Structure 1
Amino acid sequence: MPNVMACIDGSPSSRAVCDCALWATQRLDAPLTFLHVLDRNQYPTDTNLAGNIGLGAREHLLNELAALDEQRSKLAMKQGRHLLEDAREYAAGTGIKDARLLQRHGSLVDTLRELEGDIRLVVIGKQGQDSEDLGHHIGSQLESVVRTLHRPILVTPPEFEAPRSVLFAFDGSPTTRKGVELLAARPLVKGLPIHLVMVGAQTGDAEAQLEWARQHLVDAGFDVHTAIRAGDVEETLLAYQAEQDLDLVVMGAYGHSRIRQFLVGSTTANMIRHIGTPMLLLR
């Protein structure tokens, strides 16, 4: 059965990732896996220092440096294992006693790609262990995961609170239409009011697209509000979110429409950076 995959490291966001993943696991009634990946670039298992010291370097010095790198990697793996065990204990305290632990040595993106068939939802922090400033940066690995993985990704800020309402950035595209169908069919946000927001001109076609989405969600039992707003996509969505006090943002991750286009490149970081609530990205 596909898992909720919670990506944890030693960053301040790890507790929020745990809380977010526990919320999603309980809502979806899905198995939970905590994943810790030790970056091979920072902690290599095989160290080749030839040429790094200069001609005439003594062999014993090279051997000592290699041994230090090996010890550092072992300690990092041990620390990661403790993080995983702490996460499982934390989950057990909320009633989820069968969380799976998985530790890999390599690349987070490659690991998730390899496990993709067993993933229902990825939960990842807005910032990772290597982020310098929680207020002004998002994790570089997050952008790579969003670009690579073809599974829903739930991004959490450094502090997580269970969502009470949803902003769905709808544009009538196949991705967001599929997103409407997914939300209607699955229990992740069942019972939460949904605001469907289109950014652009209020044309007959836009109104028809929005009505299709509204009716689909109403038929599934949702309380739905709709709006079409003109303006810059990012600014308009953030303003609407603040105006309505909505605490979960849902949108498609890629494509060619105005909403999906702004999630490519540097604007991906801008949107995620400025949102202080969880964000569900659909692929």
Structure 2
Amino acid sequence: MTEQVMAAIDGSKFSEGVCDYAAWASLALEAPLTFLHVVDNHPQVAEADLSGNIGLGSREHLLEELSQLDEQRAKVAQEQGRLVLKAARERAIEDGVAEPATRQRNGTLVETLEELQEEIRLLVVGKRGETAHQDSGHLGSSLERVVRTLHRPILMVPDTFKVPEGVMLAFDGSKTTRKGVEMLAKSPLFAGIPVHVVIVGAETGDNRSQLDWALRTLRDAGHEAEGAIRAGEVEATLRAYQEEKGIDLLVMGAYGHSRIRHLLVGSTTTEMLRRARVPVLLLR
């Protein structure tokens, strides 16, 4: 089974960004590209007992009409999805991808991706989905569940594409982030892009040796690399460094073993992801 770049699209304003970043990743990785649209057929409104209001004889007829409405909504959603997939495929071809594929599935996004994850090399998703208010500071609830469920790299992107010119890895010396350094070093996705490695913490001998290892690994693989150890609150310190250096792609290990771990684990989505204006690649 060939692993592929899979892009989840839903017709939201983030879909164009998802298309373009997915095309960029597909070309850089020389991996097939598949666009995925999931139609959630679960009823949006719970059935209510209206018999007391409309008369016992009418209730069955009303429920029948509601059922027909649900069927009509599902058909409309499927047709809208097909149009979105067609537009995405055409856009990817314009971006230079030879034969992008499209798939439409029924179910929930999380269950569908969990089922397909053996086929996924990289998942590309928009920061918020179609149903989330575009000015909201929160991530879509589906995306939060995807991040927690999927054991594949996830590239969360904004609505406008920009070719990345600088990458920042939030590094804590954990197994996950050391694997992140090694992945960055060898991945064609980052060929020719300067890499910044940032440790948030005290200037200790251990932190310095960890940073030196990371920079040596990257430079040995031919990357231009620089690093920093900075004290402060994790999210604010990383964001300040990103803005200072003009970084346009962040890489984070989703499950480390230090304060960075708490950016991605817990009941609420992290400030880092919530405030991000640039793509964030989450490593598992």
Classify the secondary structure of the residue corresponding to 2:51. coil
Partner Cα distance (1:192, 1:201) in 2: 28
Partner Cα distance (2:172, 2:268) in 1: 17
Aligned counterpart, 2:28: 27
Partner Cα distance (1:244, 1:220) in 2: 22
Partner Cα distance (1:110, 1:77) in 2: 18
User: Cα offset for 1:68?
Assistant: 1.3
Aligned counterpart, 1:53: 50
Structure 2 letter corresponding to 1:242: E
Classify the secondary structure of the residue corresponding to 1:34. strand
Query: Aligned-residue CA RMSD in angstroms?
Result: 1.7
Aligned counterpart, 1:120: 121
Aligned counterpart, 2:185: 184
Residues 139, 269 of structure 2: 8 Å contact kept = no
Aligned counterpart, 1:241: 242
Residues 20, 95 of structure 2: 8 Å contact kept = no
Structure 2 letter corresponding to 1:6: A
What percent of counterpart residues are identical? 55
Partner Cα distance (1:182, 1:97) in 2: 26
Give CA-to-partner distance per residue, 1:62-94, whole Å, 9 cap, x none: 222211110111111111011101111111122
Q: TM-score, normalised by structure 2?
A: 0.94
User: Cα offset for 1:152?
Assistant: 0.4
Query: Any gaps of 5 or more consecutive residues in structure 2?
Result: none
Q: Is the alpha carbon distance of 1:70 and 1:111 closer, same or farther for their aligned partners in structure 2, counting shifts above 3 Å?
A: same
Which aligned pairs between 1:81-96 and structure 2 lie closer than 5 A? 81-96=82-97
Give CA-to-partner distance per residue, 1:101-157, whole Å, 9 cap, x none: 111111111111100100000000011101113352221111111101010000001
Partner Cα distance (1:154, 1:96) in 2: 18
Residues 252, 282 of structure 2: 8 Å contact kept = yes
How many residues are treated as equivalent by the alignment? 279
User: Cα offset for 1:39?
Assistant: 1.8
Classify the secondary structure of the residue corresponding to 1:237. helix
Aligned counterpart, 1:80: 81
Partner Cα distance (2:242, 2:96) in 1: 32
Is 2:217 the partner of 1:222?
no
> After TM superposition, where is structure 1 displaced by more than 6 Å over at least 4 residues in a row?
none
Classify the secondary structure of the residue corresponding to 1:115. helix
Partner Cα distance (2:5, 2:36) in 1: 10
Aligned counterpart, 1:164: 165
User: Cα offset for 1:224?
Assistant: 0.5
Q: Is the alpha carbon distance of 1:88 and 1:178 closer, same or farther for their aligned partners in structure 2, counting shifts above 3 Å?
A: same
Residues 34, 100 of structure 2: 8 Å contact kept = yes
Query: Any gaps of 5 or more consecutive residues in structure 1?
Result: none
Q: TM-score, normalised by structure 1?
A: 0.94
Partner Cα distance (1:269, 1:78) in 2: 35
Which aligned pairs between 1:117-156 and structure 2 lie closer than 5 A? 117-156=118-157
Partner Cα distance (2:94, 2:247) in 1: 29
Q: Is the alpha carbon distance of 1:100 and 1:19 closer, same or farther for their aligned partners in structure 2, counting shifts above 3 Å?
A: same
Aligned counterpart, 1:10: 11
Partner Cα distance (1:43, 1:36) in 2: 18
Structure 1 letter corresponding to 2:124: V
User: Cα offset for 1:43?
Assistant: 6.4
Aligned counterpart, 1:253: 254
Give CA-to-partner distance per residue, 1:13-67, whole Å, 9 cap, x none: 00110011011111111000000011233569xxx95x63225042333222211
Partner Cα distance (2:212, 2:270) in 1: 31
Classify the secondary structure of the residue corresponding to 2:190. coil
Residues 88, 97 of structure 1: 8 Å contact kept = no
